[in-house]
Amino acid sequence: MTPAQAPEAPHSHIFDQGNQAGERGTRLVMAITALMMAVEVVAGWRFNSMALLADGWHMSSHAVAIGVSAFAYAMARRHAGDRRFAFGTWKIEILGGFASALFLLGVAAWMVLGSAQRLLDPTPIHYRQAIAVAVVGLAVNVACALILGRAHDHGHGHDHGHGHDLNLRSAYLHVIADAATSVLAILALAGGMAAGWAWLDPVMGFAGAILVAVWAVGLLRDTTRVLLDAEMDHPVVDEIREVVAGHPEWGGVTDLHVWRVGKASYACILALEGGGGGVTPAAVREAVGVHGELVHITVELGGNRGGACTG
């Protein structure tokens, strides 16, 4: 394959305005979450509510995880012009999402252990005070979800409906998980106060742990697929094959590799059997490049190989 002209710098779209909105949103939510976490942990300990204490410590881990997301954005932005990153720094954000998913699994495990201990060794709960704090926590979680939701909408408008910001999604899932555990805490405390069911408090802790674990596994699956470039089942692969099928003079596809380099951006290496009919790598690149999500294309033709790639 003849040498292809490399791009002068990583693609500017890899850290765009959507990423900046996500970074601002995660920083603000991290600060709010850390403050509310302190309030819930102290209140849970003071009022002897396992559901409230679990929600507080749960929120503390989320503050750390959301901080990881904010840090990932900052690192991706700082190194966006570093030529050592051949396809940009987007995967730093994916690593942030992956780390946050691991935090979520840790939170779920802690909630199970804490709830089991409280179920075996119940203690009196100050229901009214604990419910008041849990309601405030829920309101804070809803506000944080709205902040991150606006950041997602801003970024979504820049990727034309394709792809997802998995780093922002991880932060959003942490906030939603907080809101869910707050709801469960309120229900448990209300049920315990009304019917004397003290066991409901730790049982809701188990329910919250299961919910958090399910979300964490889904996020781990999605981030791992990107980190391991396991995306050859993406629709863009079929779109490339359809373009080749429409040009029989190119011959068939002998090799094709597609991997993601941004939220909605992909690179590909395409090898074709023939090179008849005066076809050139540039012509193939132009035809395949009609799919806007393909931002870096390398083409190989038959025995007399030539290469071309986009910047």
Asked if 7 contacts 261 with a C-beta cutoff of 8 angstroms, the reply is: no
Closest CA to 14 of 96, 68, 73, 61: 73
In terms of domains, do 212 and 289 share one?
no
Domain assignment present for 101: yes
What pLDDT shows up at residue 275? Answer: 59
Confirm whether 54 is domain-assigned. Answer: yes
Tell me how far apart the alpha carbons of residues 29 and 25 are, in angstroms, rounded to a whole number.
6
Range of the domain at 273: 235-301
Highest mean pLDDT among 106-115, 154-163, 169-178: 106-115
In-domain check, residue 266: yes
Rounded to 5 degrees, φ, ψ at 271 are -110, 130
Number of helices (H), then strands (E), belonging to the chain: the values are: 8, 3
Mean pLDDT of all residues belonging to the chain:
76
Q: What is the mean pLDDT of residues 26-35?
A: 82
Asked which of 179, 206, 227 is the last residue of a domain, the reply is 227
Euclidean distance between CA atoms 62 and 140, whole angstroms: 13
The structure's pTM equals 0.66
Of all residues in the chain, the percent with pLDDT exceeding 70 is 78
pLDDT, one tens digit per residue, over 207-265 is: 878 877 887 888 889 889 888 888 888 889 999 999 998 888 888 899 999 988 777 78
**What is Dmax (Cα atoms) for the chain?**
84
* pLDDT over 50 (residue 161): no
What is the structure's pLDDT at 164? 60
Encoded tokens for 170: 């991880």
CA dist., res. 123 & res. 303, Å (int): 78
Q: Which helix H or strand E contains 268, and what residues bound it?
A: strand 265-272
As for how many domains the chain has, the answer is 2
Q: For residue range 86-128, what is the model confidence (pLDDT) as tens digits?
A: 677 777 778 878 887 888 888 788 888 878 887 887 777 778 8
Q: Residue 160 pLDDT > 60, yes or no? A: no
Residues 188 and 114 in one domain: yes
- SS3 of residue 289 by DSSP: coil
Model confidence at 18: pLDDT above 60: no
Residue 127 has a pLDDT of: 82
Examine the pLDDT at 270 and tell me if it is beyond 90: yes
Question: Would you state the pLDDT for residue 43?
Answer: 80
Q: How far apart are CA 141 and CA 130, in angstroms?
A: 16
CATH code of the domain in which 277 resides: 3.30.70.1350
The SS3 of residue 123 is coil
Name the domain boundary from 205, 227, 249.
227
pLDDT greater than 50 at residue 311: no
Mean pLDDT in residue range 42-47 = 79
Assigned domain for 200 exists: yes
Percent of the chain with pLDDT strictly greater than 90: 6
Based on the fold, state whether residues 259 and 223 are members of the same structural domain. no
**What is the residue type of 56?**
G
Which of 11-25, 69-83, 244-258 has the weakest average pLDDT? Answer: 11-25
